[in-house]
Amino acid sequence: MSPKSRKRRQRSKRSSSRRPSTPPKRAYNFEWVRSQFEGMTQEETDKRLVEMGEEHHVKYEESFANLQKEILKWEPLYLLSASSFYSTFDADSRIQRDPKRIRIFQYHLELLQSLVLSNKREAYTSDFPPPQVIGTLRKLLDESSKSFPMRRYAKLTPEMSEEERYRMRVLEDVRSHTQSVRNWGYPQQVKRILNDLFSPLDDDVERETGVSLRGLIDMWFVISTMLIKRVQTHLDKFGPIMGAKSLKEAVEIFWSVSPQMISKPEDMVAFLNEQGLNLQQTRYFLLSYGDRLLPDIYTLTFSECLNSYPVSVDEATLKTMLDRWAFSFGDLASENPEHFFLGNPVWRRPLIRLDSDRYFMPLPGLFLSFALELMEDVIRSVPNLLAKYERRRARFLEDESEQLFVSAFPSAKVHRGSLWHDPATGKDFENDLLVIIDSYQIIVEAKSGKVSAPARRGAISSLEKEIKELIVDPSLQAMRFAEYLQRNRGKHQFKTLAGNANEVDNTDCHETIRLNVTLDILANVQARWTDLRRAGLIPDDADIGVTLSLADLDLVFDLLDTTCERIHYLARRAEFERNAHYIADEADLIAFYIDSGFNIGEAEYDGTPLVIYGISEILAPYYMSVWTGDKIQKPRRPFTKWWTLILERMEKQPIERWTEIGYMLLSLSFEEQAFFEKEFRRIQRNVAMKKPLRRSGNAYILLSGPEERRNAVIGLAYKKIAKEKRDSMMIEAILPAFQKEPIKRALAIGVNVEKVISDSYPYGFLACVYRGALSAYLE
């Protein structure tokens, strides 16, 4: 017997390929971290939480008081500029400091700016602090910001019900989001949305104020970009000092970029040697000396602001507008500093007025974070324009939502503003958007209401009102329409307020996705309605749909390239929110989907707390590169080459219920795809032989996913045979999965082994087989 035939004989000893199998467990990209309260009783947990609250109360009082005292010792513009600079380039290898240093973010710097503005300029010294002072400020800012919310756990009492505990958690999540989360979109999104939203109001604003909203938006973006370029230039000049190989080289680099120095490099080298500084200490010394130029980087003259405005404008008028967006030293003296955490005045007035011609802006990102509010403040200054703006918000949101769906689903039928009568209630309703694509119907309700400042601070009555308006009411609207369409599948004619009619045919629709789209973001609780229910903030019987902001919906459709991926995300996103316990905002969930496809096994259902918060950082490099013109590859969910070919051909040549087939294909992780392909290739090779080994069979079955949403994928290999025979083979292969597993449907992928899998032939047939169709075989 030849070695080759011996190998085949060994393969024939395998068990039947028709027995369902599961792939190896996936090696997840995230970490499982044990809770610090694991193993504790509820009483013990409560006691520890109260202790933590009391500890943080003491830490907050001490750190916040010390922070306010410390800033008075030094030159304030330097404190702001140095803190901002080293926050911006915290991870840059050229200025790496102590790896244990505390990282600070924009919200820390906002707090620092408001505290600095609480004192008159003469209250400060003109001394430049040594480098360690910036480290001290980092620590105090971090301690104050962390302890500010944690101290509220001291109010926890054993008598609190589970609902009250969840409510406390939700309120803290909202406050935490208000305190620390910034930027509701990437720069290109913010600019486009601002311009499109405000453009119809521009003439009214310019006629009354002398400036246009578009002009102000463009000016702010030019100023922000200019400041960021200055910061980058400073780093490019002085950063190489940290790479110097000798004390002399470090001094020479410093001298080459510091033309203002009047002594000689040799004198500096001698001075450093006298002080006994080593190379690393010399690097830090020279870098700190160069940092004295940082206040100039963040200083703006009025002429620079004027030149940033895109068209001709009256100078006095623009100066008045800039002054409205600025504070002077001491302007916040009468404010309660504790209010700066959840309602910082610098959010609406990001500039510091230095004198009649100069402004200081240490946080270029402030405009991006609060651009919508800044432009709305201009509108409020124009009599009778606010009501027009509110109407514009509603129309804009509907227009933008429609356009996103039209672009994302080119083959779909998109119907806007359908008026329909509900026989169950006897009332008439209007649906904002209905999208019909293959066997899916997507029902969209757009809500343009604003989230008020009290709601963002966790005021319970305001929060309940806005949860109802932005989440509960639109979900109820969409549910009514969904039930009506499901009961009445067929052709419909819905009138619209515009006077025309929507011709809708949902005869073949078997799946429904409900979606609420908002303009504002209701913190990260917008992404977790199940927590709102546990907290008693929405009715127990309310069936809530997914709620996304317009900017986040734009991200979904931009990051996911195909129709099937977009549908799968929206469908699985609803399931994931219903089943999993997690902390995340929408951008985190998008990033998590790209990383995992929401394939996390039983962790989706067993109550495992998932802290997904912050994973959206993997998206930032790509979107910032798009903004700056650099080239970084877009993050994409990984697929095997074969899986990609299947998806591409199916979208180019759609078959019946192809969107449901796409859902099943996309429900397998990358590892499962690779495992299935490997095992199915073995079956194909066997069937392709002149004398196939009977025990190897002609089909391979893969089971994946937890029991709550078990998936079955069947690969059938065949040669040229009649369709009836092929279908019979498919049913025979697929029956074991339905007999042994709680699955509702299975996906069959057929491959003719006489053809080579290629771009033009990734499969012979695809079919979605439903349990109901096999009832005769399963009885």
Q: What is the pLDDT of residues 411-464, one digit of tens each?
A: 999 999 999 999 989 999 999 999 999 999 999 999 999 999 999 999 999 999
pLDDT above 50 for 17: no
Confidence of residue 30 (pLDDT cuts 50, 70, 90): low
Summarize the confidence of residues 8-21 as an average pLDDT. Answer: 44
pLDDT above 80 for 22: no
Summarize the confidence of residues 63-88 as an average pLDDT. Answer: 94
pLDDT value, residue 197: 97
Which two structure tokens, joined as six digits, stand for 390? 């509110």
Render 573-600 in DSSP notation, one character per residue: HHHHHHH-EEE--HHHHHHHHHHHTT--
Confidence of residue 297 (pLDDT cuts 50, 70, 90): very high
In a domain, 180, yes or no: no
State the Cα–Cα distance between residues 187 and 626, nearest whole angstrom. 10
Residues 425 and 544 placed together within one structural domain of the fold: yes
Handedness of CA 65, 68, 71, 73 (dihedral sign): negative
Give the alpha-carbon dihedral of 624, 628, 631, 637, to 10 degrees: 20
pLDDT value, residue 774: 83
The pLDDT tens digits for 655-702 are 999 999 999 999 999 999 999 999 999 999 999 998 877 777 899 999
**CB atoms near residue 345 (< 10 Å):** 17
Summarize the confidence of residues 727-738 as an average pLDDT. Answer: 89
The pLDDT tens digits for 224-283 are 999 999 999 998 998 899 889 998 999 999 888 887 776 788 888 888 888 888 998 888
Residues 554 and 618 placed together within one structural domain of the fold: yes
Confidence of residue 12 (pLDDT cuts 50, 70, 90): very low
The pLDDT tens digits for 188-225 are 999 999 999 999 999 999 999 999 999 999 999 999 99
pLDDT above 60 for 382: yes
Render 37-88 in DSSP notation, one character per residue: TTT--HHHHHHHHHHHHHHHHHHHHHHHHHHHHHGGGS-HHHHHHHHHHHHH
Residues 6+ apart with CB under 8 A from 393: 197, 448, 450, 519
pLDDT value, residue 453: 95
In a domain, 634, yes or no: no
- Is the whole model's pTM more than 0.75, yes or no? yes
Residues 584 and 464 placed together within one structural domain of the fold: yes
Residues 654 and 619 placed together within one structural domain of the fold: no
In a domain, 33, yes or no: no
Q: Would you report the helix, strand and coil content of the chain in percent, each value rounded to 5?
A: 55, 15, 30
pLDDT value, residue 60: 97
Domain boundary among 628, 653, 687: 628
In a domain, 418, yes or no: yes
Nearest to 145 by CA among 182, 104, 173, 184: 104
Render 270-307 in DSSP notation, one character per residue: HHHHHHT--HHHHHHHHHHHHGGGHHHHTEEEHHHHHH
Lowest mean pLDDT among 87-91, 125-129, 492-496, 738-742: 87-91
Residues 725 and 592 placed together within one structural domain of the fold: no
Confidence of residue 14 (pLDDT cuts 50, 70, 90): very low
Residues 652 and 747 placed together within one structural domain of the fold: yes
In a domain, 319, yes or no: yes
State the Cα–Cα distance between residues 213 and 192, nearest whole angstrom. 13
pLDDT above 70 for 553: yes
Residues 594 and 576 placed together within one structural domain of the fold: yes
Task: State the residue range of the domain holding 587.
Answer: 389-628
pLDDT value, residue 9: 37
Residues 316 and 198 placed together within one structural domain of the fold: yes
Summarize the confidence of residues 503-523 as an average pLDDT. Answer: 95
Confidence of residue 4 (pLDDT cuts 50, 70, 90): very low
pLDDT value, residue 741: 86
State the Cα–Cα distance between residues 56 and 34, nearest whole angstrom. 22
The pLDDT tens digits for 627-644 are 888 889 999 999 999 999
In a domain, 182, yes or no: no
Pairing of β 440-447 and β 427-437: antiparallel
In a domain, 176, yes or no: no
Contact present, 401 and 517 (Cβ < 8 Å): yes
pLDDT value, residue 25: 57
Domain boundary among 569, 595, 628: 628
In a domain, 749, yes or no: yes
Question: Would you put residue 654 in left (φ > 0), alpha (ψ -120 to 50) or beta?
Answer: beta
Residues 294 and 401 placed together within one structural domain of the fold: no
More confident: 37 or 584: 584
Lowest mean pLDDT among 7-16, 127-136, 324-333, 514-523: 7-16
Residues 103 and 246 placed together within one structural domain of the fold: no
pLDDT value, residue 86: 86
pLDDT value, residue 21: 66
Burial level of 145, CB count in 10 A (0-12/13-18/19+)?
buried
Summarize the confidence of residues 338-355 as an average pLDDT. Answer: 97
More confident: 778 or 494: 494
Summarize the confidence of residues 41-63 as an average pLDDT. Answer: 91
Confidence of residue 18 (pLDDT cuts 50, 70, 90): low
Residues 595 and 698 placed together within one structural domain of the fold: no
Q: What is the mean pLDDT of the chain?
A: 90
Residues 254 and 368 placed together within one structural domain of the fold: yes
Number of domains in the chain: 4
Contact present, 451 and 469 (Cβ < 8 Å): no
